[in-house]
């Protein structure tokens, strides 16, 4: 073994991966170091992302909808998808978010619940990154409680007419197509999904400005004012909240791995920094307080990775349950956030600048902590799994 | 259009590298990969086929069991099949012996064009392509910074210090390409998964009709007599600027023949 091991070498993580998984991971890692790392700090600072250009590049790699079968998708294992998310998020959570929303929310919704026409029309172009999708569930006043959504779809002759507002929509203003969830009646069972071309009259998207997190990511508000759609726009295979929630479950599986990427990049930065940074005439890596921080971070990262791979294997076997994905998000995002904060402390003053990736990852993870099911809701999902008693219904 | 691309599995330059007791590079016990300079050859071959709209690519490598990884990497970028010459007697083969073995492989294959990298990133001799061309009686156009194929001819540009030459060779021919030919593509995920299903044929020396004493350390025309690790870097010279810093700096650069 070399004098210095990476945290993943310490855990022999590679021994748990197939050759194909290592190659896919390596390809994404190389893309990130060639294409993302040199520019990400500038994109983050300016709050501007060349998202459509990146979508095409990610599409040519095969990242978009990579774990879906057919329609131009690569059809990899779920574990390989997770590893790709990990490497993308080692670049930036915003890049991984772009991929999650495209593949696991917009494409997955059509792949699982859409008509053959939806699939033919959209999936091949979305897999290539020529078309970008977004996913509208959350509203300004309904986040953790989507059952209360106010967006409505009412019949008008053979058509549907949608009215409402969706909030915190990644890729919203750059999307060609939005999967929008709306109630067609009084109760949550009446919720249906609609495939909405974003050039439909009455559809507008405005970007959310003044963010201090996920700045290298497009976040929008969608406004639907009398958007008229044919009946063929309805996702035929699902009604009720099961539709959007199963999509979110896909996306948060990617987050279970992705958050580890942000953590690994922060930890590796802290290790490299500690080895070269001298105080009191010696590298700070030699101080016991620093070593304790590094050891605790490496163990949290390694354990989180073992958990993610366990969940990935279960997903590939078709046995993964939603509350098990909640364990992953609960543990790995919290752990990653803690790692980025501790890594920042090792970098001292340098840790607060965009010269190093750490505070960028740290701020990004504040969003990741909250989106795709807040940490609090995942906590309650675990509480319910253990007790049989739901705390929020 | 049928293209053969020569690829080599080399030790990862970013990982620890070692020499064996016989002064050969340790290829078995270290992490390795497709020589980066060969990726440009793969890319150029793929572009020629894409421009032609038809054709097939066969990759050829010679090396230990794990050299198969270089073939799979190339196959994941594109192309159709591969040949792996695998035989314990190959250990320690020099450039002359390598060209002999590769020539025997090529005698078994159909090809219009053979593409190689400009050098391997480990040995770095750049001689195998021309030795191979000589053995096969092929015209060779080496160190190409551009490559195009049309009307039964390959045309390359070779950029020298003083001039750029445009060289045309009639097919079948051999071309070696430099890192100036353009970035190699990333393997796509579909490519990575498809690569596993592409055929890889393994040949032994006996299959090729090469006697063991023609190759290996015993058959080598060259011998590495000694291997010495480069001494660790010495600390640099510190120049204290006492008003004459510029002069001292210029003197140092002149003493090192930089100016």
pLDDT in tens, B43-82: 999 999 999 999 999 999 999 999 999 999 999 999 999 9
Question: Which of chain A's residues have a Cβ under 8 Å away from the Cβ of B189?
Answer: 24, 27, 61-63, 66, 74, 76, 80
What's the pLDDT tens digit per position in B83-111? Answer: 999 999 999 899 999 999 999 999 999 99
**Torsions phi, psi of A250, nearest 5?**
-65, -50
Res B26: pLDDT: 76
User: DSSP letter string over A331-356?
Assistant: HHHHHHHHHHHHHHHHHGGGGGSTTS
B227 pLDDT band, cuts 50/70/90, is confident
Q: Which residues of A touch B (CB under 8 A)?
A: 2, 19-20, 23-24, 27, 30-31, 60-63, 66, 74-76, 80
Question: Are A294 and A162 members of one domain?
Answer: no
The mean pLDDT value for A271-291 works out to 97
Question: Are A247 and A145 members of one domain?
Answer: no
Q: Reply yes or no on whether A117 is catalytic.
A: no
Question: Are A272 and A146 members of one domain?
Answer: no
Measured distance CA(B73)–CA(A30) in Å, rounded: 14
B3 pLDDT band, cuts 50/70/90, is very high
Q: Is residue B241 part of a domain?
A: no
Its domain, for residue B101, covers 2-219
- Looking up residue B29, the CATH number of its domain turns out to be 3.40.50.620
Its domain, for residue A147, covers 133-233
Q: What is the mean pLDDT of chain A?
A: 96
Res A329: pLDDT: 97
**Angle between helix B95-108 and B128-136 (nearest 10):** 50
- Measure B6 CA to nearest chain A CA, in Å: 21
Question: Which of chain A's residues have a Cβ under 8 Å away from the Cβ of B76?
Answer: 23
Is pLDDT at A393 greater than 80 in this prediction? no
Q: Is residue A392 part of a domain?
A: no
Closest CA to A51 of A207, A165, A180, A259: A207
What's the pLDDT tens digit per position in B165-182? Answer: 999 999 999 999 999 999
Is pLDDT at B14 greater than 90 in this prediction? no
Is pLDDT at A190 greater than 80 in this prediction? yes
- Looking up residue A180, the CATH number of its domain turns out to be 2.40.110.10
Res B240: pLDDT: 82
Question: Are A155 and A76 members of one domain?
Answer: no
B238 pLDDT band, cuts 50/70/90, is confident
Q: Is residue A161 part of a domain?
A: yes
SS3 A229: strand
- Measure A78 CA to nearest chain B CA, in Å: 13
Question: Are A266 and A373 members of one domain?
Answer: yes
A2 pLDDT band, cuts 50/70/90, is low
What's the pLDDT tens digit per position in A216-257? Answer: 999 999 999 999 999 999 999 999 999 999 999 999 999 999
Nearest CB partner across the interface for B188, out of A19, A30, A60: A60
Res A85: pLDDT: 98
Q: Which of B32, B33, B186 to mutate to test the interface with A (most CBs of A within 10 A)?
A: B186
The secondary structure of residue A297, as a DSSP letter, is H
Which of residues A214, A233, A252 is at a domain's end? A233
SS3 A217: coil
Interface touch B189/A31, C-beta < 8 Å: no
**Torsions phi, psi of A53, nearest 5?**
-65, -45
Is B16 near chain A, with CB under 8 Å?
A: yes
Interface touch B190/A24, C-beta < 8 Å: no
Q: Is residue B232 part of a domain?
A: no
> In this prediction, what percent of chain B has a pLDDT beyond 70?
99
SS3 A121: helix
Interface touch A20/B193, C-beta < 8 Å: yes
The mean pLDDT value for B125-151 works out to 95
pTM for this one?
0.88
What's the pLDDT tens digit per position in A128-178? Answer: 999 999 999 999 999 999 999 999 999 999 999 999 999 999 999 999 999
Question: Which of chain B's residues have a Cβ under 8 Å away from the Cβ of A9?
Answer: none
The secondary structure of residue A119, as a DSSP letter, is H
Q: Give the list of residues 6+ apart from residue B227 with CB closer than 8 angstroms, or none.
A: B19, B23
Q: Which residue has the higher pLDDT, B219 or A333?
A: A333
Q: Is residue B234 part of a domain?
A: no
Nearest CB partner across the interface for A61, out of B186, B193, B196: B186
Total domains, chain B: 1
Is B29 near chain A, with CB under 8 Å?
A: no
Question: In this structure, are residues A71 and A119 in contact, taking their beta carbons and an 8 Å threshold?
Answer: yes
Q: Is residue A2 part of a domain?
A: no
Measured distance CA(B116)–CA(B111) in Å, rounded: 14
Is pLDDT at B222 greater than 60 in this prediction? yes
User: DSSP letter string over chain B?
Assistant: -EEEEE--EEE-TTS---B-TTS-B--SSS-EEE-HHHHHHHHHHHHHHHHHT--EEEEEEESSGGGHHHHHHHHHHS-SEEEEE--GGGTT--HHHHHHHHHHHHHHS--SEEEEESS-SSS----HHHHHHHHHT--EEEEESEEEEETTEEEEEEE-SS-EEEEEEESSEEEEE-TTS-PPPPPPHHHHHHHTTS-EEEE-HHHHT--GGGSHHHH-SS------PPPPPPP------SS-HHHHHHHHHHHTT--
Res B103: pLDDT: 96
Q: Give the list of residues 6+ apart from residue A380 with CB closer than 8 angstroms, or none.
A: A390, A391, A392
Question: Are A194 and A113 members of one domain?
Answer: no
- Looking up residue A288, the CATH number of its domain turns out to be 1.20.140.10
Interface touch B190/A74, C-beta < 8 Å: yes
A6 pLDDT band, cuts 50/70/90, is very high
Measured distance CA(B142)–CA(B131) in Å, rounded: 12
Among residues A87, A139, A221, A372, the one annotated as catalytic is A372
Question: In this structure, are residues A340 and A266 in contact, taking their beta carbons and an 8 Å threshold?
Answer: yes
Q: Is residue A69 part of a domain?
A: yes
Q: Which of A56, A74, A127 to mutate to test the interface with B (most CBs of B within 10 A)?
A: A74
Question: Are A40 and A76 members of one domain?
Answer: yes
Measured distance CA(A10)–CA(A127) in Å, rounded: 36
What's the pLDDT tens digit per position in B75-86? Answer: 999 999 999 999
Question: Are A352 and A253 members of one domain?
Answer: yes
What's the pLDDT tens digit per position in B185-203? Answer: 999 999 999 999 999 999 9
Q: Is residue A293 part of a domain?
A: yes
Q: Which residue has the higher pLDDT, B14 or A220?
A: A220
Question: Are A96 and A186 members of one domain?
Answer: no
Total domains, chain A: 3
Is pLDDT at B29 greater than 80 in this prediction? no
- Tell me which residues of chain B, numbers 189 to 218, contact chain A at a CB-CB cutoff of 8 Å: 189-193, 196
Q: Is residue A1 part of a domain?
A: no
CB–CB contacts below 8 A, A to B? 38
Res B19: pLDDT: 81
Q: Give the list of residues 6+ apart from residue A195 with CB closer than 8 angstroms, or none.
A: A110, A114, A118, A122, A177, A178, A179, A233, A234, A235
Find the range with the poorest average confidence among A28-37, A202-211, A326-335, B22-31: B22-31
């Amino acid at each position: 073994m070399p004098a210095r091991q990476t945290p993943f070498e310490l855990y022999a993580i590679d021994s748990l991966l197939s050759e194909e998984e290592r190659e896919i991971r390596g390809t994404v890692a190389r893309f990130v170091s060639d294409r993302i790392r040199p520019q990400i700090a500038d994109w983050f600072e300016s709050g501007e992302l060349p998202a459509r250009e990146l979508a095409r590049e990610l599409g040519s790699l095969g990242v978009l909808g990579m774990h879906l079968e057919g329609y131009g998708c690569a059809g990899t294992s779920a574990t390989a998808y997770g590893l790709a998310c990990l490497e993308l998020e080692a670049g930036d959570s915003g890049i991984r978010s772009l991929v999650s929303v495209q593949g696991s929310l917009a494409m997955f919704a059509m792949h699982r619940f859409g008509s053959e026409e939806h699939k033919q029309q959209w999936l091949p172009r979305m897999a290539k990154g020529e078309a970008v999708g977004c996913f509208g569930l959350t509203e300004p006043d309904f986040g953790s409680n989507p059952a209360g959504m106010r967006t409505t779809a009412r019949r008008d002759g053979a058509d549907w007419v949608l009215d409402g507002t969706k909030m915190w929509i990644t890729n919203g203003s750059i999307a060609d197509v939005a999967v929008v969830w709306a109630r067609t009646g009084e109760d949550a069972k009446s919720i249906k999904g609609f495939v909405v071309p974003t050039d439909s009259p009455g559809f507008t998207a405005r970007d959310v400005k003044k963010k201090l997190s996920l700045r290298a990511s497009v976040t929008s508000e969608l406004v639907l004012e009398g958007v008229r759609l044919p009946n063929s726009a309805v996702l035929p295979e699902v009604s009720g909240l099961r539709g959007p929630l199963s999509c979110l479950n896909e996306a948060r599986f990617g987050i279970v791995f992705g958050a580890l990427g942000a953590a690994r990049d922060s930890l590796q930065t802290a290790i490299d920094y500690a080895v070269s940074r001298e105080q009191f005439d010696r590298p700070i890596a030699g101080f016991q307080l620093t070593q304790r921080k590094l050891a605790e971070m490496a163990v949290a990262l390694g354990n989180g990775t073992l958990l993610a791979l366990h969940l990935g294997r279960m997903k590939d076997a078709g046995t993964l349950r939603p509350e098990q994905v909640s364990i992953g998000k609960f543990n790995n995002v919290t752990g990653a956030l803690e790692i980025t904060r501790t890594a920042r402390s090792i970098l001292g003053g340098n840790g607060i600048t965009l010269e190093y990736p750490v505070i960028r990852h740290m701020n990004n993870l504040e969003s990741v902590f909250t989106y795709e099911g807040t940490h609090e809701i995942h906590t309650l999902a675990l509480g319910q799994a253990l007790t049989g008693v739901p705390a929020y219904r | 259009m049928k293209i053969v691309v020569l690829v080599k599995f080399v030790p990862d330059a970013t990982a620890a590298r070692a020499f064996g007791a016989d002064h050969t590079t340790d290829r078995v016990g270290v992490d390795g990969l497709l020589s980066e300079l060969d990726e440009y050859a793969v890319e150029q071959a793929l572009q020629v086929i894409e421009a032609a709209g038809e054709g097939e690519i066969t990759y050829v490598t010679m090396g230990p069991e794990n050299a198969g990884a270089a073939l799979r990497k190339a196959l994941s970028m594109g192309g159709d099949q591969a040949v792996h010459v695998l035989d314990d007697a190959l250990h320690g083969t020099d450039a002359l012996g390598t060209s002999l073995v590769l020539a025997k492989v090529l005698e078994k294959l159909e090809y219009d064009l053979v593409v190689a990298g400009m050098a391997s990133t480990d040995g770095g001799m750049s001689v195998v392509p021309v030795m191979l061309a000589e053995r096969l009686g092929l015209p060779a156009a080496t160190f190409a910074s551009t490559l195009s194929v049309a009307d039964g001819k390959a045309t390359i540009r070779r950029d020298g210090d003083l001039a750029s030459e445009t060289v045309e060779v009639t097919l079948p021919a051999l071309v070696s390409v430099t890192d100036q030919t353009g970035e190699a593509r990333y393997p796509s995920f579909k490519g990575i998964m498809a690569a596993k299903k592409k055929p890889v044929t393994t040949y032994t020396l006996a299959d090729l009709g090469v006697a063991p004493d023609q190759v290996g350390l015993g058959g080598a025309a060259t011998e590495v007599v000694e291997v010495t690790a480069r001494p660790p870097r010495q600390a640099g010279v510190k120049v204290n600027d006492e008003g004459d810093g510029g002069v001292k700096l210029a003197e140092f650069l002149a003493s090192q023949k930089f100016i």
